[in-house]
Structure 1
Amino acid sequence: MLAPAAALLLALAAGAAPPAFVAVIDPGHGGVQEGAISPRGVRESDLALEIARRVAARLRKMGAKVILTRTGDIAVPMANRAAIANAIRADLFVSIHLNSMPTVEARRVTTGVETYFLSADATDTHASAVAARENADRLAGDPEPDPNDPVGAILSSLEDAASLEGSSRLAYAVHDRLVSSTGALDRGVKQAPFYVLAGARMPAVLVEVGFISNEGEAERLRAKDYQEKVAAALADGIAVFRKETRAARR
């Protein structure tokens, strides 16, 4: 899994021109980790990968070097996902997921997009439930959190206030663009203890691009033109974040 990262480091060491920026795009789940399932049997892992590929293609056109944490239907340990970003000293990490609700009525009526960045404390009970669902999808062999200190590792992974602030700015940049471009219901930018974000030493966010549990939204997310719209919004949000970051450093 680290071969693309190693190739990038070797190229830079050999004097190759550096990319405009380096992004790691993480398609959630994969392999035995199917994620949530739509009413018509579509898997979250499949749609996340389709959208991630489209985001990567758009970022590459902007001059970015992009690494996908998976390029096929394979399982990747959660700890490895942020480790890939750290290994290549990426400028940002974006994990793509699709949301789900637990009850028949909630599935029928709930739609919209949410964007998260790492925190020991969830914004609300729904954010806590989303994090719990995503965190439960660990592979055998993945390190288990200490039951007496479930967020200790997450707190220690927040390198400093600048890292947290960068993640917050990235979250708002991609979320605002996603809402305005797709017309999806704005469910807000939130914080929650996601293990997939823990350990990332750069701005890192998790985007729930829609509710796969809602039949109408799931079918919309299956459509190639809507996937392109989502991908364009995420790529544009990343570009906005990069522009703001460069301006702040001057």
Structure 2
Amino acid sequence: MSTQSVNAQVDFDLPLQDTNLQAQLPSSIQQLQLRNVQVSADGLVLQINGIPKMSASRIASPDRIILDLQTTEVAPWIHNSLIAVNRYGVKQIRVAQFQKSPAIARLVFDLDNNSPASWQSSFDQTRGLLVLRPLGISGTSNNPSNLPVTGSTVANNNLATTIDGLSFNGYGQLVIQASRAISYRTSLDLATNTYNVTIPSTRISSQLRRPILGSNSPIEQIRLNQVGDAVVVSVKALAGWQIRETARTNTQAISLQLESVGQVATGNPQNPRSQIQPSYSNNNGRQLVVIDPGHGGPDVGATRNGVYEKDIVLAMSKQLGRILQQMGYSVMYTRTEDIDLDLEPRVQMAENARASAFVSVHVNSLDASASQVNGVETYHAPGASLGKNLAEFVHEQIIASTGATDRGVRSARFHVIVNTSMPAILVETGFITNPSEAARLVNSSYQERMAAAIAKGIDQFLRSYRR
């Protein structure tokens, strides 16, 4: 691959406290974005969509270099991040948005005793990489092939840190485990009681392990999103519960403590869902079924060996919708493409459409140590008698049609089935962590058989309760 580059020398051998040096690089008119900072065999690599005007200064006590990129915003997933270097006379680099208007991205190089006197910069326009090469230090080259690959959701394997799994320990803590030491920042969305952990310079492992949330779990939902070069773990707790950080004893793990903050007041101890009578028609006189393919977009769901839950359930859901339409039902999908969609909008679609039934389609997973586990589980909301009936009809048809292991009809407080007023179920169609079952789940013929069984169960339920 040919490399178009612009070269300039940046002199970092500055008098202490000199803040006036301007690097002689062409400036860019448009707003730029710094998307990543990495260490390569060639030096320090900045992923940026243009050539910024740079200014540098060197300050003592402690010895450090401050590099400002003018007219450049810092991508949110690397803002306030710390990149370990331990090469080229640089211990680490701190990255932050120093100023918003006009935008200035600031990189602080914490130096050791071997810091080079000068650096040379070059910009690879083909791949959007600004490379800072130390002069006078052996072990660097001008070979473009040494640079990280950009534009891919999978980072350079030599540099990538992965989020490998989430699990519960014996202290009531949810533990996020990484392949290497990680830094992170947290935030709390009070409106939804969701605790967000942003882990920069990481990616979601293709062998990700996720915990099973039982019906008594204080956690309603766990989502992992790949946001640029950061992984965002969002943990939504039930009302009456809160999440807090614990002291770190392992740099490769983050432990979140779940704590009860008192009982939630309720006006009526009975589950209102069991009192609701369904409306079995929509405005065109035909019964409407809302089909909800789980996850989507950066929320890939369960995954194993590069296969994503979001893709399996979308294909299966489309087949389910087609079969239901052939049976004479109206069908609405919460999503028909690979898009990010939160839980509440899925519920509101069904509520606004006055659906007759709501069916959420998912794929299950366990730790790699439990790869022998397989089978189908069908869930309804606790106390929802009609939801339980729908689950029983559907589950019976799936087991009879597919021959899958029967793991039973269960109740759980999944958001989409607890907060919908019509009969609602969530079907876990199999375990992607079981090699044999995973091979069936990605097979289009098996997907169609599963969809036909779900459709038959829905049809039996709606015919039984039709008024």
TM-score higher than 0.5:
yes
1:106 matched to 2:326: no
Letter in 2 for 1:114: E
Encode CA deviations 1:40-93: one digit per residue, 9 max, x unaligned. 211000001000000000000111110010000001110111110000100000
Aligned to 1:213: 433
Deviation of residue 196 (structure 1)? 2.1
Given that 1:83 and 1:199 are in contact with CA atoms closer than 8 Å, whether structure 2 keeps it comes out as no
Aligned to 1:143: none
Bigger Rg over Cα = 2
TM-score (norm 1): 0.72
| 1:78-157 mapped onto 2 (5 Å cutoff) | 78-102=343-367, 104-107=368-371, 109-119=372-382
Given that 1:94 and 1:207 are in contact with CA atoms closer than 8 Å, whether structure 2 keeps it comes out as yes
DSSP-derived class of the 1:50 partner? helix
1:30 matched to 2:250: no
Deviation of residue 105 (structure 1)? 2.6
Out of 443, 463, 467, the residue aligned to residue 223 of structure 1 is 443
Cα separation, 2, equivalents of 1:78 and 1:211: 22
Aligned to 1:51: 316
- Unaligned segments of structure 2, at least 5 residues: 1-281
Out of 420, 434, 437, the residue aligned to residue 200 of structure 1 is 420
Deviation of residue 193 (structure 1)? 1.1
TM-score (norm 2): 0.39
Aligned to 2:409: 189
Deviation of residue 30 (structure 1)? 0.2
Aligned to 2:327: 62
Encode CA deviations 1:144-194: one digit per residue, 9 max, x unaligned. xxxxxxxxxxxxxxxxx7xx1110100000000000000000000001111
Cα separation, 2, equivalents of 1:230 and 1:244: 21
Cα separation, 1, equivalents of 2:428 and 2:321: 17
Cα separation, 2, equivalents of 1:225 and 1:77: 30
Out of 269, 285, 293, the residue aligned to residue 18 of structure 1 is 285
Given that 1:82 and 1:198 are in contact with CA atoms closer than 8 Å, whether structure 2 keeps it comes out as no
Going by fraction, where is strand more abundant, 1 or 2?
Answer: 2
Cα separation, 2, equivalents of 1:199 and 1:209: 22
DSSP-derived class of the 2:296 partner? coil
Given that 1:114 and 1:190 are in contact with CA atoms closer than 8 Å, whether structure 2 keeps it comes out as yes
Deviation of residue 242 (structure 1)? 1.0
DSSP-derived class of the 1:95 partner? strand
Cα separation, 2, equivalents of 1:217 and 1:234: 18
Percent of pairs identical after alignment? 44
Deviation of residue 198 (structure 1)? 2.5
Structure with the bigger RCO (C-alpha within 8 Å, sep 6+) is 1
Going by fraction, where is helix more abundant, 1 or 2?
Answer: 1
Cα separation, 1, equivalents of 2:452 and 2:417: 23
Encode CA deviations 1:85-120: one digit per residue, 9 max, x unaligned. 000100000000000012x2302x11100000112x
DSSP-derived class of the 1:196 partner? helix
Cα separation, 1, equivalents of 2:359 and 2:378: 10
Aligned length: 186
Cα separation, 2, equivalents of 1:197 and 1:166: 12
1:234 matched to 2:466: no
